[in-house]
Amino acid sequence: MSIKLIIIGGVAGGATAAARARRLDENAEIILFERGEFVSFANCGLPYYIGNIIKNRDDLLVTTALDLKDRYKIDVRIFTEVVSIDRGKKQVSVKDLNSGKSYTENYDKLILSPGAEPAKPKIDGIDNENIFRLRDIPDTDRIKALLDVKKPESAVIIGAGFIGLEMAENLVERGIKTTVIEMLDQFVPQVDYEMASIVQIFLKQKGVICKVQCPAKSFEKRGGRTVVVTSTGEEIECDMVLMSIGVTPENKLAKECGLDTGSRGGIIVDGSMKTSDPDIYAVGDAVEVKNFITGRPEMVPLAGPANKQGRIAADNALGRSSVFKGTQGTAILKVFKLVAASTGLNEKSLQKNDIAYQASYTHSLSHAGYYPDAELMSVKILFNPNNGRLLGAQIVGFDGVDKRIDVLATAVRSGLSVFDLEELELAYTPPFSSAKDPVNVAGFVASNIIRADVKSVTWNELKTLKGKVSFIDMRDDIELEMSGTMKGAVNIPLNDLRSSLDELDKTKTYVAFCAAGLRSYIGCRILMQKGFRVLNLSGGFTTYQYVKHIVEN
């Protein structure tokens, strides 16, 4: 007897589940309900269509209802909304949004893929016609029509996450004066403050007006324009507003039929993607899944995990045994030429979960320095201070960031340590890397710390050392002339260090730094062996400059 599988919702999770289910069982009856017109589209490509980078709207369609019907023999019903689930009868109530007709369908197994919707805070004036959200193709069409027809001159983006910053890039590229306001103290909350600071500095250089700790308080309509009133009392007048402050899970069906949900509203599932009902599975942005490192539930609205979950849910619904082992939240962002990427846990998450960690910073070139167009790449890794196990990584730079974050993501997933990073044999030729790849270098630096070859201090630990340490700048004179130095630092270039030891006091503790940390590491090794107490500033003056305003205040 063939199984009857109903899937509610398409896009990454639902469409993947439908295709996988058909490949597993040619005789299964598979019905996919989608309340909109588009079964599977490229959410992540929407900003680039608005920005005219993607020229053809149809290129956003990953697959269509007709494609699924012709290739997979799946009964796809678009403009059809499932309004309720009767778990006792194993039946869904359905409404055809075109005809208004309602009917029921029975199921043997059910997969929920409702996704998440843009968060909509209770702010006065939020329903103003010039305020937009970006979730799907109809949203995209409305925004693009405004840009193409009315040609707005200015825009305000509320929220500095991935979508908000991708939209900032594309609006600026279309000649629109763009302001991004964020309620937190940093952009890109997926990475830590100092790494996000690189992104913010770069955006300012590209003409984006950046405001942090600046939540929107209300929206006012003045003529044909919108005024964003912030909590600081500032008024920003613009032609359009994009809300991009995160998403909330669409859990209405799940809650109404009694499925278990978590504190943040996500549908609770086990490793097989099964809900609290043994015949109902759930996938994608609406579910809580296990964090691969902490083992604790969290919500990660990313396309990659949603695809994997759809495949796993289909496996289990049709009798196979597959397990989703957890997510590590690997993500990457491009803003203009700059790339920011992360995997695993950041410092905020590690602290929240009471996990002991050590951080280290390195600044490496994207490929061999003697080959043209090498660009700086800032790498931060977080690791267990005892065994060196890699807990997370963040990279901000240009070419090659994607390659390195994928290597580090694989290392996190495989439980590798910083000592393993030292030994990884990675592809090298001058146009693509160096003989010591940036991943290897990150491993070298972290391993040196664990082995106690050097004692390290990070930028955010400097405040606790105020008045207790002295600083040695080991850069050359010309570097100081170009970028300055820390207040009170004595300049002893590395090559002059051995001849200058008499100028130093063995009763003091020194913090040594250079541009990126290599020369000061060598200097620390010299000083340690000569009986001096010394710490190496991880990431050197380069990292320090990104957060100088915090350290010095």
For the annotated catalytic residues, the residue numbers are: 44
Going by their DSSP bridges, the two strands 280-282 and 109-112 should be labelled as parallel
Integer Cα distance of 200 and 485 in angstroms = 22
Integer Cα distance of 85 and 416 in angstroms = 44
Residue with tokens 């007897």: 1
Q: If you write DSSP's letter for every residue of 428-462 in order, what string do you get?
A: --TTT--SS-HHHHHHHHHHHHHTTSS-EE-GGGT
Residues 6 or more apart whose CB falls under 8 angstroms from that of 322 comprise: 272, 311, 312, 315, 316
Assigned token pair, 474 = 């080991």
Assigned token pair, 52 = 């005219």
Integer Cα distance of 345 and 383 in angstroms = 10
CA 19 and chain centroid, separation:
28
DSSP-derived 3-state class of residue 48: helix
Q: Which residues pair with 298 in a beta bridge?
A: 289
DSSP-derived 3-state class of residue 21: helix
Integer Cα distance of 43 and 48 in angstroms = 10
Closest CA to 64 of 94, 93, 32: 32
Residues 6 or more apart whose CB falls under 8 angstroms from that of 485 comprise: 473, 475, 491, 541
Integer Cα distance of 224 and 536 in angstroms = 56
Could you report how far apart the first and last alpha carbons of the chain are, in Å? 72
Exposure string of 423-437, with b = 16+ CB inside 10 Å and e = fewer, is: eeebeeeeebbbeeb
Residue with tokens 């029921």: 104
Integer Cα distance of 460 and 463 in angstroms = 7
- Tell me which H or E stretch contains 309: helix 303-317
Assigned token pair, 398 = 């240009």
Integer Cα distance of 214 and 221 in angstroms = 20
Closest CA to 283 of 252, 330, 244, 249: 249
Assigned token pair, 521 = 């590491």
Number of other residues whose CB lies within 10 A of the CB of residue 220:
14
Assigned token pair, 64 = 């269509």
